[in-house]
Every structure is written in structure tokens, then in C-alpha cells.
Amino acid sequence: MIRAFSILWLVVFVPIVLLIIPTKINPIQRLNEAFSEHFYQQIYSVNFELLSNKLLNQPNEQWDITIQRYATEFAYPLKLDSLSDYEFDQSLHESLKNGQVSFLYGDPMALVQRVGSSDRVIYFALNESTELAVLNQARGTLFLAAEHLRSLPKEEWDADLARQNQLIPFSIRLKTQSELSDDALSALKQTINGPVSYVNNMGQVELLAAIEPGLWLHVQDDLSQTTQMKLTSAIGVLFFLLISLALVLWIFPLWRDLKQLVATANEFGRGHLSRRAKACKMTVASQLSLSFNKMADNIENLIAGQRELTNAIAHDLRTPLYRLRFALEMLDDEQTSATQREKYRRTIDSSIEDLDHLINQNLVLARYNRVADINQFSHCHFADCLKQEVEHFTLEHPNLVINLEVSQDLQQQQVFIDQNGLMRAVKNLLSNASRYAATTITLSFQCQHKHYVICVEDDGIGIAKTDVERVFEPFAQLENQERGSGKGHGLGLAIVKQIAHWHSGQVLVDDSSLGGAKFVIQWPQSFTMQPS
């Protein structure tokens, strides 16, 4: 189970992780970048055209002042950069040199374009960066903190800041210009007044608010980023745990049922034919277990039938073999008279015919005692075949009246059947009826309730209700304990039953209106394929 769970876990989570992590191979990020670039370039390209025209109509030394004046009207940063700042990306640098509006996918997203043929680039942010968001959140707080310090004597500033640092989870302190980093000085140059924010080399956001000339209130905000990381990590872990739990709840019943099925199959293979698989109906292995149980039932029934058939064959072979042995021994006896020798020769011929008939019947039963072969099925005029069979049977039994009844709609209709198999079944039923019929046998072929129906009736002694099921068992013979060759070996009706199953049908026994037995073979008209 651990191996199956690990494989499934990797299949589920590896693509999710690749989709979440912002990398160049992330298809979601690539699609987002492509759609964002196309959208923003169409919307804001006119801004660059207007700003570039205004700048090109002024001296270069006034460009920074002009951009700073317009920047106050934009919600997100607008500034002038140097063209050399973008040499880190060769393709981006080339597009800027060609004067194209280029898209930057980052924090924040931005559009950039070269101003004419100069070495300056207009940078226009499209959303709020992380440091700008932190600054906007802390702007009011910084103003209040700076105002509070100004209201106190300078000698109390350090003590007041120490007291505040004990109450808040991040560090606040005073810094002079000499203590500021290059990133801080660069951020101060781009801001005329008010607090500023920037990202240090550790990826943390720092804030500066002027207290007095040359002195700033410095705040290092590592809490927001840490809190965001904790929140993101908690959501990610919770998501992974929930999906993992769902995978376990799905795969554990499947693994349990498959393990039980394997154990059952091994037991069944070792000869415990009564073993059956057990599986919850709610799992995906339930259909597999049902199929296994159905297969096991068929195999057990087949083996039991073959065992019973083998035992019956051995019993039926014994009688003619004993007769043969006895007749041969008597022929070798010199005291046996000529009349007795002739009698024993007839016994030998009769026993050989009996053995030949028994072997042929067993071969026929073995043929029909397996899955149907679709190659044996075809469309034929079955009514004509029945007419020919009745004519031949009448010639063989001149003392019996054979009636044939075929529905009018089946006279010329073709049916999809195993013609040889069904004709063998009809012959077996007619032969069985001729043993018990007094004077009359009726054969009919009709359509009833979307089924083809063949009936063979006789006016004999009939069959008792207690013997109805037993007559279809191999070697079962009623009122015939000796099983002589003239009476058959009890395989005819077993063959009829198997042929009916070949056609997804069944064979039934009932009382005939003629007074004897009535055998009915019926199979669906919609039958087009061999039964499973």
C-alpha cells in the first residue's frame, strides 16, 4: 500500500507543486504573463506615447522633475531609469533599444519603454509592490510615531523607543545619514517627502520616516513577511494533508480488497474451490470481486460436472467392458459350443457398439459443455430444416404419427442460430419422445413473448414432478436402471440443455396436452452473440 500511495501521491502533488512554484516552466505563470502582457500593452501604450512626447520637448535635465510631477497623479510608481539598468536581460534590452513597450513580470508588474533614442527608460508600475503595500499600511503609524518623538525631549527618545520595542514585535530605532545603506539612500533620492520603503539585501522591507534633517526613524518590518510565509505554509500544509487524507481514504479500501482478492485467488488456485472474494460495494474493486466470484462459480460447477461426468462414464464403461471380457474368455474356452460362441460374438458386437455410442455421446457433450463459438452461428431457414428432419424421422418410426406445427411468420424467416447444434437438440428430443410415445409426437416452432420456442410433446407416460430437474443430469435415466445400449446412456437431454445455454436460452419440462411429457427449448429473438 505504501508504494501505491507514494506513486499516487507523487502523481498528484508533483504537478501541483510545479504549478504553484513561480518558475519559467510553470504553465500557469507563462499563460498569466502572456495574457497580462498583451492586455496591459494595449491599455497603457498611449501613456508612454504622451509622456515620451512631453519629455522629448524639454531639456534632458528637466526630465526627472517632470516625471516626479506626473508620478504624484499615478497610484503606482512612475519613474525614469537608465537603459543600462536592463542589460541583465539581453532580449529585454534589445526590445528597449528598438523602442518597444516591454512587459516586466515581477513584483510589481510593470511596463517600460525607451524615451526616443536617449539612454533613459520610462518605468510604469501596474500594481502595488510588496514594499509599497507595507509602506501604505504603515504610513499613518510612522507619522504618529515621528510626531510623538518630536514632542519629547531628545534625551528621552532612546528610552521611549526602547519601551516601544518591548511592546511591538519588530525593531524601531533612529538612524543618521551615515548609518543608512545604499538601498535606503537610493529610496530617499526618489522620494521628495514623506516616509519611504525599500527592500534590503535580505529580502526584508525597511521603512524610513524623517524626524528632523539628517535623522530618520527606521523600522525593519520582518514580521509581515514572516507572517505571510507562516500563513502560506499553514494553508499549503493543510491542503496537502487534506488531499493526502482523501488519497488514503480512497486507496486503503482498494488496497485491502485487492489484498483479500489476491489471497482468495491463491487459495482458489491451491484447490479450495469454495473460496470467494469479499469486497465492499463502495470500492472500485467490487466489480472485480464480483467477476472473480462469477468465474469461480463457473469453474467450480464445471469441475464438479466434469468430476461427476467422469465418475458416470467410468460406471457406464464398466458394464460393456465386463461383457466383452466375459465373452472373450468364453470364446477361448474349448468346451463352449458353436451356438454359444455365436451368442458371445453377438455380445461382443453389441458391447463394441455400446462403447462407440457412449464415446460419441461424451464427445458431443464435451463440445457443448464450454463457451459458445460464434463461428458456429449463422442465419438460416430453420423451419425448412425441421420439415426435413420430420420426414426422415417418420421414415425411421413408421408406427408413430409425427405432427409439425410452424408459425406462419416463421415459415420463411431466417434465424441466427447454431443450426447443427439446434438440430441435434431436436433429434435428441424426438429420439427421447419415441421411446415413451404411444402413437403421437408433436413438434412445434413458434414465437412467444420475444422468444423463439421449440416444443416436443408425446402421449407417453410423462415425467413425475420430482424427476423434472434430474432428467437433464448426465447419465440420469428414469425407469432404466440397467442403462442398456438400446435405451441410451442418459446424455441426450444433458446435451439439449447445453445447446440451449449456447443460445442464451433454457430447456423446460412440463405436462403435455397429449398426456405425456412436453420439452420446451426457448431462447431470445434478440440473441446475436454467444453467451458469456
Dump pLDDT digits (tens) for 496-511: 888 888 788 899 988 8
Mean model confidence pLDDT for the chain? 81
Work out whether strand 401-406 and strand 440-448 pair parallel, antiparallel, or are unpaired.
parallel
Please write the tens of the pLDDT for every residue from 223-233: 666 666 777 77
Provide the pLDDT for residue 289: 85
- Any idea which residue has 499553514 for its cell? 234
User: Quick check: 117 pLDDT over 60?
Assistant: yes
**Whole-angstrom Cα distance, residue 76 to residue 243?**
39
User: Quick check: 121 pLDDT over 90?
Assistant: yes
Cell of 4: 501505491
Please write the tens of the pLDDT for every residue from 175-201: 888 888 888 888 787 776 678 887 777
More confident residue, 248 or 391: 391
Please write the tens of the pLDDT for every residue from 156-175: 888 888 888 887 777 788 88
Confidence of residue 405 (pLDDT cuts 50, 70, 90): very high
Confidence of residue 18 (pLDDT cuts 50, 70, 90): low
Predicted structure pTM score:
0.45
Are 465 and 482 in contact by the 8 Å Cβ rule? The answer is no
> CA geometry: angle at 350 spanning 349 and 353, to 5°?
85
Q: Would you tell me how many other CB atoms lie within 10 Å of the CB of residue 250?
A: 14
User: Quick check: 9 pLDDT over 50?
Assistant: yes
What is the pLDDT averaged over residues 477-489? 47
User: Quick check: 110 pLDDT over 70?
Assistant: yes
User: Quick check: 356 pLDDT over 70?
Assistant: yes
Residues found in the chain: 532
Confidence of residue 387 (pLDDT cuts 50, 70, 90): very high
**Whole-angstrom Cα distance, residue 377 to residue 528?**
9
Most confident of 291-300, 380-389, 478-487: 380-389
Cell of 415: 434465424
User: Quick check: 512 pLDDT over 50?
Assistant: yes
| Helix extents (H) in 398-462 | 419-436
User: Quick check: 338 pLDDT over 90?
Assistant: no
User: Quick check: 456 pLDDT over 90?
Assistant: yes
User: Quick check: 114 pLDDT over 90?
Assistant: yes
Do you find a cis peptide bond into 398, omega within 30 degrees of 0? no
Cα 34 to Cα 41, 220, 482, distances in angstroms: 11, 35, 93
Provide the pLDDT for residue 452: 92
Provide the pLDDT for residue 453: 93
Most confident of 21-30, 48-57, 321-330: 48-57
User: Quick check: 11 pLDDT over 90?
Assistant: no
